[in-house]
Structure 1
Amino acid sequence: MAGVITASEPSWMSPFTGLSPRQFSKLVAVLRRKEADTVRRGRPWGLPLEDRLLLVVAYWRTNLTLRQLAPLFGVSKSAADRIINHLGPRLALQPRQRFRKDTVLIVDGTLVPTRDHTIAEQSKNYRYSTNHQVVIDADSRLVVVIGRPLPGNRNDCKAWAESGAKAAVGLTTTIAAGGYPGTGLVMPHRRRKGEALLDWKEAHNTSHKQVRARVEHTFARMKTWKILRDCRLKGDGVHHAMLGIARLHNLVLAG
């Protein structure tokens, strides 16, 4: 069965990946170096690596069911499932290991509605969700760390440590919203009851809010990937999707 969508037609790349054909080819080359295209035991892949990559990214972008997506690539539903499970983890963003001394990071948590109730809990959006701690570089706006998903009812100050994001960042200066008390992060000044903030504190809060908005803009871009609005993947699937989408987001920003 012939597929409708194929990476051999460059016009399909940008709508699903946001990447240019040149960037897409570079990503394929990286995956090949990581042995994502090695011959495996059992049934061989029905699609070349380029088409398998496009299938995974199209699934994240559109959140179509596998029954809807598979015919578009000319494969069976089970084959599409195997492709996503095999290639999705290999697209994961690798956390940055070192930071310059003058680096400033921004962290915030975002909720991803997730149907796997073994890892999700009802959260403030009244849906079963997972909490993801996302850390970006304040200067470049690139995503540098994403913590492991936690139940959506976990508050951010606990999720910061429990997700592994705190350990990954180390002592690097990190800006956060007011929901991270006791974490040592740089937060806005709070007004005590019956007192007004000093002018310099008001000015600092204004600057803090403007810089912190960059992580909100990152969330807005990442949430254009529809799988992050209603994730049907089980187990580590939502984590792999977040990491893969963050990597593609970085590639687009880096040009």
Structure 2
Amino acid sequence: MQIVTAQRRELIEVFTGLRPRRFHRLVRAVHREGGRALAPDRPGRPWALTLEDRVLLVAMYCRTNLTVRPLAPLFGISPVAVDRTISWHGPLLALTPGKRKPGRHQVLIVGGTLVPTRDRTLSASSKNYRFSANLQVLITAETRLVLGVGRPLPGNRNDCIAFAESRIKDACGSATVIADGGYQGTDILMSHRRQAGQDRLPDWKGQHNASHCQVRARFEPAFVRVKNWTILRDCRLKGDGVYWTTSGVAHMHNLALGRA
């Protein structure tokens, strides 16, 4: 007996953070990416769940970080079918690159976040005292929408290096990008620092730092909503799983804001 289904509209917002109308926009996006295709390892055999229920299953997995065993009876399918659904449909929820790159009149904010993961080939012991991956996240300063998520790197990698190696730099276009002081040596706009021998900054630099901090502060509240998804606190997926999970959660975050 299936307990959780997308037909129960009250469950959609609980497990996805989306209202039913926006959830169906997510389902249509997954459909365009090939969500209705049959399982590649079992061609000819249809999925046990509808596309809406499969998308809800992946969202519930990301929201609760439950393993496949407790998820299976909730959706009335086997643990193997749950694993197959997550593996095939999870990457389809990820953000798709925009058709146009940001222009020079736009202001973007970039920041790094550590996602604990059990894949030791992808992670490293980090400052949060856990094996984590460094993911670079790019948002717009005006709308706080997530524009892109960089490829995961070991958590001990500095942000200034991860900015280029994660390929998030390619998504910036010609826009003005601001960040904290961890991006030394890049062309990102950062706050001024005192030089050797300086007791205090000039007034104009202090004013610039104040306005810079006000804009950059928009990153944290936006990303706090993303980090509320439990899977980003202990990701058990391997390989690209950390990437598509973070990108998929960012996609649902954009839809929840009603601007994606």
TM-score band by shorter chain is over 0.9
Q: Distance in 1 between matches of 2:254 and 2:114?
A: 20
Q: Distance in 1 between matches of 2:173 and 2:164?
A: 11
Residue of structure 1 aligned with 2:111, choices 108, 111, 132: 108
Matches within 5 A, 1:141-160: 141-160=144-163
Structure 2 match to 1:119 = 122
Displacement of 1:192 in angstroms is 2.1
Number of residue pairs aligned between Structure 1 and Structure 2: 254
Structure 2 match to 1:209 = 213
Q: Distance in 2 between matches of 1:58 and 1:226?
A: 10
Q: Distance in 2 between matches of 1:103 and 1:254?
A: 20
Alignment deviations for residues 8-66 of structure 1 (CA, whole Å, 9 cap, x no partner): 10000001111111111222223223331134514321111111000000000000111
Q: Distance in 2 between matches of 1:37 and 1:45?
A: 9
Scaled by the length of structure 1, what TM-score is found?
0.96
Structure 2 match to 1:25 = 24
SS at match of 2:163: helix
Aligned-residue sequence identity (percent) comes to 56
Q: 1:127 to 1:201 in 2, by over 3 A?
A: same
Q: Distance in 2 between matches of 1:102 and 1:152?
A: 32
Q: 1:229 to 1:159 in 2, by over 3 A?
A: same
Q: Distance in 1 between matches of 2:32 and 2:158?
A: 39
Structure 2 match to 1:223 = 227
Scaled by the length of structure 2, what TM-score is found?
0.94
Q: 1:113 to 1:39 in 2, by over 3 A?
A: closer
Residue of structure 2 aligned with 1:69, choices 56, 68, 71: 71
Matches within 5 A, 1:69-108: 69-96=71-98, 97-108=100-111
> Contact conserved, 2:118 with 2:236, CA < 8 A, in 1?
yes
Q: Distance in 1 between matches of 2:155 and 2:133?
A: 4
Structure 2 match to 1:4 = 3
> Contact conserved, 2:38 with 2:46, CA < 8 A, in 1?
yes
Q: Distance in 1 between matches of 2:37 and 2:234?
A: 32
Calculate the aligned-residue CA RMSD, in Å.
1.3
Q: Distance in 2 between matches of 1:151 and 1:50?
A: 34
Q: Distance in 1 between matches of 2:238 and 2:38?
A: 26
Following TM superposition, the consecutive aligned residue runs of length 4 or more in structure 1 with deviations greater than 2 angstroms are: 29-35
Displacement of 1:238 in angstroms is 0.8
Which residue identity is paired with 1:60? C
Structure 2 match to 1:244 = 248
SS at match of 1:88: helix
> Contact conserved, 2:27 with 2:51, CA < 8 A, in 1?
yes
